[in-house]
Structure 1
Amino acid sequence: MAKEDGLKDVDSPIRAIFCLKKNVSTEKFDERHDCFILDFDPFESVDLFNKVSHKDDDGQELSVIGQRGQVACRDYPHSRHLCTKFPFDKTAHEDYCEQCYCYVCDSIAPCKSWKKPEGRHCDATEHDESWKILRIENKPLSRLTTEAVFAAIL
């Protein structure tokens, strides 16, 4: 049998597979090995200095330095109180992104009652029973169905 590099059988179906954990030059592995796995995205360049050196005053110990793909409460329609671009507990409730909608009206933010003093829909959240009731009342349901829903949550 023929030997390659004096170590492997050329006809052998068994080959070693290497996994590269760090973004190093893959050229030396490409020349010597038929197959290797990249445990990183070689096309992604992350500026770790700017991301890691950013200090927040919120006392959190976790820093996100990268992301891939879609984020539900950022990239898809979501109720204002679930927005990740404008966190509900850290930003003015009147603020909204292009994907926010009114929790009460189920319409694109801002709705007609977004900033009205008698019931600011921008403050609506699913964690408050009064907003839940107002949301149900705004649905196009029959009176009988609405009463049944109220009985279920009360």
Structure 2
Amino acid sequence: MEENETKVMIEIISTPSSSEKEEEKDDCLILDFDPFDPINDINKLSMSDNLPNNDEHDDLQVISEIGQVACRDYPHPRHLCFKYPFDKTPHDNHCELCYCYVCDSTAPCNFWTEADDGDQEPHCHASEHTGDWKNKRNLKKQINLD
């Protein structure tokens, strides 16, 4: 590691009330900034001055980040891609670490842009949060086990 390289560390601190209120639904946290940009002013990470009614938003504090970022540095389903956000980029775009949510294979799979006989949509649109993709994924796993 070079001497002038800056590390960013994210530590999530949650209160019991926040974990009781929300179900676990995301595999990773999508940041609204580029984690590769150096942080020159730690005050830029402060949420206290930027949010109205801070009492409602005090259960998450970004302190810093160090090491790997799951959705950027490790294999992940396409709908959780850090490089190509699912709701902001064409679904057929994928990074070198994306995999098909249905097939569990490296993207693009054989049905990435063209639906197979059993699917109504191409697999690039698959997400655990939309449609019947969870069932299609489970069915595909059962077929592969047989």
- The CA distance in 2 between the partners of 1:141 and 1:47, in whole Å, is 48
Q: Taking CA–CA contacts closer than 8 Å with sequence separation of 6 or more, which of the two structures ends up with the larger relative contact order?
A: 2
For residue 5 of structure 2, the aligned residue among 44, 50, 61 is 44
Question: How far did residue 68 of structure 1 move?
Answer: 3.6
The one-letter code sitting in structure 2 at the alignment partner of 1:125 is S
Counterpart of 2:110?
A: 112
Counterpart of 2:94?
A: 96
- Identify, as 1 or 2, the structure richer in strand: 1
- The CA distance in 1 between the partners of 2:67 and 2:138, in whole Å, is 34
The one-letter code sitting in structure 2 at the alignment partner of 1:71 is V
1:1-150 matches, within 5 Å, as: 43-44=4-5, 46=38, 48=40, 68-117=66-115, 118-139=120-141, 140-141=144-145
* Structure 1: segments with no counterpart, 5+ residues: 1-41, 53-60, 143-154
Between the two proteins, what is the percent identity of the paired residues? 53
The one-letter code sitting in structure 2 at the alignment partner of 1:44 is E
Aligned residue for 1:81, secondary structure, equals helix
- The CA distance in 2 between the partners of 1:44 and 1:141, in whole Å, is 46
The one-letter code sitting in structure 2 at the alignment partner of 1:86 is Y
Calculate the aligned-residue CA RMSD, in Å: 2.8
Counterpart of 1:13?
A: none
Question: Could you give the per-residue CA deviations for residues 54-103 of structure 1, whole angstroms, max 9, x where no partner exists?
Answer: xxxxxxx9xx9x95421001100000000011000111100000000000
Question: How far did residue 119 of structure 1 move?
Answer: 2.2
* Structure 2: segments with no counterpart, 5+ residues: 7-37, 45-50, 52-61
Corresponding residue pairs, total: 89
Larger radius of gyration: 1
- The CA distance in 2 between the partners of 1:67 and 1:85, in whole Å, is 18
Runs of 4+ in 1 over 3 A off after TM superposition: 42-49
